[in-house]
Amino acid sequence: MNTRVRRTFRSDIQGMRAIAVMLVVLYHSGVTVLSGGYAGVDVFFVVSGFLITGNLLDSLERNGRINFGDFYAKRVRRILPASLVVLVLTVIAAFAFIPPLQMQNLLRDALATAAYLPNMWFAVEGTNYLAEAAPSAFQHYWSLGVEEQFYLFWPAILGLGFLLVRKSRTGLFVLVAVIVAASFLFGLWLTTENQPWAFFSLPSRAWELGVGGLLAFLLSRGYRWLQGAPAALLGWAGIAGLIAVALLFDETTVFPGVNAALPVLASAAVIIGGTAAHPLSPVRVLSIRPMQYLGKISYSLYLVHWPLLVIPEAAFRNIDPLQPMDKLILGALSIPIAALLYTFVEDPARRAKFWAQSRPARSIMTGGIASIVVLVLAGGSLAVTSQTELSSGRTVAAAAGSGMALPATEFVPDNLQPSLTEAEDDNPSIYATDCHLGFDDTDPAGCLLAPNADAPRVVLFGDSHAAQWYPALEKLAQEGQIQLDSNTKSSCPSVTVELMRDGSRYTECDRWRDGVIDRLVADPPALVLLTNYGQADLVRGDDRFAAEWGAGLEATVAALPDTSTVGVISDSPDMGETPAICLSSNLDDAMACGRTPDEAINHDVRSAEQDAAESAGASYVDLLGSFCDDQLCPAVLGDTLVYRDSHHITATFSAGLSPVLGEQIQGLLAAQ
C-alpha cells in the first residue's frame, strides 16, 4: 500500500463537529429557521466514517492487519464513560420530574440504550424522530447506537476484505464502494417501505459512514488537485450545501432516502476542502477558536442537550408548558454543562492511566462491567416502577348504562377501566385481526360482522378515528341490531383530500378510499358512517385546511350511493397529550388532566364538517356532549378512562357509548 498522508490533528474536522452539533442543538431548541438541523447527525456520520476508516487503513498499512483489541479499547474509552454518566443522571433526573407512567417507558428506553441497541428499539417502536410529540429522553442515543454497531462490524469487514482482495488497496476500495452503494439503495427502498427502520437502522445508514470511509481512501493518495483552488471551492460549496439543508429541510422532508445524500455529500465536500493548502480553503473559518471549542466538547454537548430539553418539557407540560424562549435558554445552558462533562468525565476518562496505559482487555472488561451494572440498575428500577400504585385508593360507581355521563370523576379510581398502565393497549379488536389497514394496504374489501343476517348493514368508513368507534358498533352488531361493515385505514380519512405522509404523496390512501367507494356504490348499504381525525398534511398545504376538509367531505358524500343514508360522526376531542401520563402524576386531581372545549376542539374543522354534511344531504351526529360539558373535557368519566393517547378514545369508553350511538343510528335508519 502507498504511504499515507497523515495529519495528527485536523482543525477543520473539529470545526465540522461544531457545525454538526450546533445544527442539532439549535434545531432541538426550537430555532424554526433551522428546520433541517436534524441533518447535523449525518455530518457526524461522515466525519466518524472518515476518521475511523483512516485509522484502520493506517493499521493495515503498518502491520498488514487490524489490532482489534486496541481498536475496541479506544472506542470504549472514548464513548462509554460520558455516555453512561449521562444515562444514569438522566434516569435520576427523570425519577424526580417525570410522571410515573412515563417512567416505565423511559426505563425501557434506558435498557435499550445501555445494551447499545437504542436505534433498533426505536425502530421496533415505530418512532417518528421528526414528528414525535412526546419523545424519549434517550431518543438522541439512536445515532450513537448506529455508530457503535458500525464500529463493531467495520474493522472485521475491512480486515477480512483486505485479505480477500489480496491486500490490494484498489480492491479494498472497490469492496467498500460496493457496500456503500448497497446500503444506499437499501435505504432508498426502506424509506418508502418502513420509514422508522430506514431512519434508525444500521444497514440503511451505514452508507453515510461508508462515504467518509471512501474519503479516507481518496485523501490518503495525496492527489495534487486536492491541494488547489478547486478543492478549496468545493469545501465552500459543501458548507453552502449544509446551510441549504438546515434552512430548506423540515419534518415533512422524506428522510433519509435520497434527501440524505445532500448533507452527506456536502460534508464530504467540506472534508475535501479542508485538505487544500490554499488561501481559499474554509479551514481558517472552521479553525476559529469558538468552533474549535464547540467541536472539542461536541460529543458531551450532543449527549446532554437532549435530556436537558425533554425532561423539563415533560415535567411542566401540564403546569406551564415551555415557551420558545425557555427552550433557547435550556439549549444555551447545555453548553456549560457539556463543558463540565467534558472536563470532568469525557477527557479524564479517555486519558486515565488505569486503562489508557494498560492492555486493551482492561478497557473492554471495564466498559462491559459498567454497562452491565447500568443494565441491572435500569432493569431493577423498571421492576420497582412497574409495581407503583397508580390510583387514588378510592373507588367510584360505574358509568351509567346508557352511555358515559357527566360530571367527571375528580380522582383516579382503583376500579378505573382500563387502568393507566393498560390504556395504551386498549385498542379496538380490528387492530389485532388486521381488519384495520396499515399505511401500505389498499384492499377495499372491508370486514363484515353480521350475526344477524336480516339486520341493516351499517358501514364504518374512515381513519383511526373511525376505528375507535368499532367497539361501540361491535356491541350493536353482536346484539343483532346491525350488520357492521368496517372500512378503516391508518391516517387515511374517508374525506376526499390529497394527503402527504412522511414527506411524500399518500397514494395508497387515495387508492383505498376510491376502492371502498366503488364497492359501496356496487353494493349500497343502509347506512354509511363517516368519521375522521380533523388533522392531516394536505398536498396543497394547510393554509385553508378547514375549507379543503369541508369540500373533501362533500365530495365523499356525493360519491356514495343515493340509496344509502350518510351520517357524519363528530370528531373526538384532542387532549394535546396522553391523559394517562398526566393522571399518573395527579391521582387525586384528575380534573387537572382535562382540557376546556376551546382547547380540545378544532371549531373551524367542526363547523366545516357540519356545514358540509348539511350541504351534501348527510346527517351530522354530534356526540360532543358525551365527552365535554361547557367547561371541561375530562379524562375520567365514572370508572372509565376516556383516552388511550392524546386523541384516541379507549375501546372501553367506546363500548360504553354503544347505547348512545345505537340510538343515533336507529334515528338515522328510521328517517330513510
Candidate from 142-156, 225-239, 358-372 with smallest mean pLDDT: 225-239
Q: What CATH number has the domain bearing residue 453?
A: 3.40.50
Give the three-state DSSP class for 460. strand
Question: Do 380 and 438 sit in the same domain of this protein?
Answer: no
Q: What percent of the chain has pLDDT over 70?
A: 95
| Listed residue (135, 89, 137, 143) closest to 116, CA to CA | 143
Q: How far is CA 364 from CA 147, 370, 427, 492, in A?
A: 17, 10, 45, 50
Q: What is the pLDDT of residue 2?
A: 44
Same domain, 367 and 513: no
Nearest alpha carbon to residue 128 among 197, 29, 28, 35: 197
Rounded mean pLDDT, 462-484: 96
| Neighbouring C-alpha atoms within 13 Å toward the C-beta of 586 | 21
**C-alpha radius of gyration, the chain, whole number:** 28
Q: How far apart are CA 613 and CA 131, in angstroms?
A: 32
Q: Which residue, of 358, 385, 412, is where some domain finishes?
A: 385
Q: How many CB atoms lie within 10 A of CB 360?
A: 18
53 and 112 in a single domain? The answer is: yes
Position 281 scores a pLDDT of 84
What is the pTM for the complete model shown?
0.85
Please give the angle made by the CA atoms of 247, 252 and 257, to the nearest 5 degrees.
90
Instruction: State yes or no: pLDDT of 87 exceeds 50.
Output: yes
Alpha-carbon gap, residue 463 to 486, rounded angstroms: 11
- In the structure, what pLDDT confidence band is assigned to residue 399 with cuts at 50, 70 and 90? low
Residue 651 has which C-alpha cell? 375501546
Establish if 645 belongs to a structural domain.
no
Q: Where are the beta strands (DSSP E) in 600-647?
A: 619-621, 636-637, 640-641
Mean pLDDT of 468-474: 97
- Residue 396 forms part of a structural domain: no
Per-residue cell: 43: 455530518
Least confident range from 341-350, 429-438, 535-544: namely: 535-544
Which distant-in-sequence residues (6+ apart) come within 8 Å of 340 by Cβ? none
Query: According to the model, what pLDDT value does residue 138 have?
Result: 94
For residues 255 and 503, the answer to whether their CB atoms sit within 8 Å is: yes
Q: What is the pLDDT of residues 251-261, one digit of tens each?
A: 888 889 999 99
Contact status, residue 503 vs residue 476, Cβ threshold 8 Å: no
Mean pLDDT of the chain: 91
Residue 417's pLDDT is what? 94
Do residues 420 and 580 lie in contact, with contact meaning Cβ atoms separated by under 8 Å?
yes
Q: Does 476 fall in a domain?
A: yes
Give the distance, in angstroms, between the CA of residue 403 and the centroid of all CA atoms in the same chain. Answer: 36
Question: How many domains, in total, are found in the chain?
Answer: 2
Count other C-beta atoms under 10 Å from residue 361's C-beta.
Answer: 12
Residue 633 pLDDT class (50, 70, 90 cuts): very high
Shared domain for 355 and 482, answered yes or no, is no
Cell 485538505 -> residue:
275
pLDDT one-digit tens code per residue, 205-214: 999 999 999 9
* Parent domain of 377: 16-385
Kindly state whether residues 499 and 365 are assigned to the same domain: no
Distance of CA 343 to the CA centre of its chain: 32
Compute CA 612 distance to the chain's CA centroid, rounded to the nearest angstrom: 34
Evaluate whether 564 touches 526 at the Cβ level (below 8 Å).
Answer: yes
Q: Is residue 417 part of a domain?
A: no
Q: Does residue 596 fall inside a structural domain? A: no
**Do 72 and 134 have their domain in common?**
yes
b/e for 367-398, b at 16 or more Cβ within 10 A? beebbeebbebbeebbeeeeeeebbbeeebee
Do you find a cis peptide bond into 407, omega within 30 degrees of 0?
yes
CB contact burial 535-553 (16+ within 10 A = b; e otherwise)? bbbbeeeeeebbebbbbbb
pLDDT of residue 8: 63
- State how far the Cα of 661 lies from the Cα of 623, in Å rounded to an integer: 8
Residue 154: what pLDDT?
96
Q: Residue 132: is its pLDDT beyond 90? A: no
Q: Are residues 377 and 508 in the same domain?
A: no
Helix intervals (H) in 297-419: 298-316, 324-341, 347-351, 353-356, 360-386
User: What sign results for the dihedral spanned by CA atoms 160, 164, 167, 173?
Assistant: negative
Amino acid identity for residue 62 in this structure = R
Chain segment 405-440, per-residue pLDDT in tens: 557 899 999 999 999 999 999 999 999 999 999 988
Both 114 and 36 in a single domain?
yes
Give the percent of the chain with pLDDT over 90.
75
Mean pLDDT of 478-504: 93
263 domain-assigned? yes
Q: Specify whether 223 is located in the same domain as 342.
A: yes
Count of residues in the chain: 672
In a domain, 128, yes or no: yes
Task: Tell me: do 229 and 323 sit in the same domain.
Answer: yes
418-421's contacts with Cβ under 8 Å and 24+ in sequence apart are 418/641, 418/644, 418/650, 418/652, 419/390, 419/391, 419/641, 420/101, 420/390, 420/391, 420/580, 420/583, 420/584, 420/641, 421/101, 421/104, 421/386, 421/390
Range in 158-172, 212-226, 330-344, 538-552 with the lowest mean pLDDT: 212-226
Report the alpha-carbon distance of residue 583 to residue 593 in Å, rounded.
Answer: 6
Identify the band that residue 47 occupies on the pLDDT scale cut at 50, 70 and 90: very high
138 and 203 belong to one structural domain:
yes
Residue 24 domain-assigned (yes or no): yes
Which 3 state secondary structure label does DSSP give 649? strand
Q: What DSSP character marks residue 485?
A: E
Residue-level pLDDT at 6: 46
3 state SS of 598:
helix
DSSP track, 398-440 = PPPTTS--SSPPSS--TT-BS-TTTGGG---GGGTTT-SB-TT
User: Which of 304, 207, 329 has its CA nearest to residue 258?
Assistant: 207
The answer, yes or no, to whether residue 401 has pLDDT greater than 60, is no
The predicted model gives 187-211 an average pLDDT of: 94
CB 80 within 8 A of CB 279: no
E strands, 538-646, in order: 565-569, 619-621, 636-637, 640-641
331 shares its domain with 198: yes
Rounded Cα gap, residues 624 and 600, in angstroms = 11
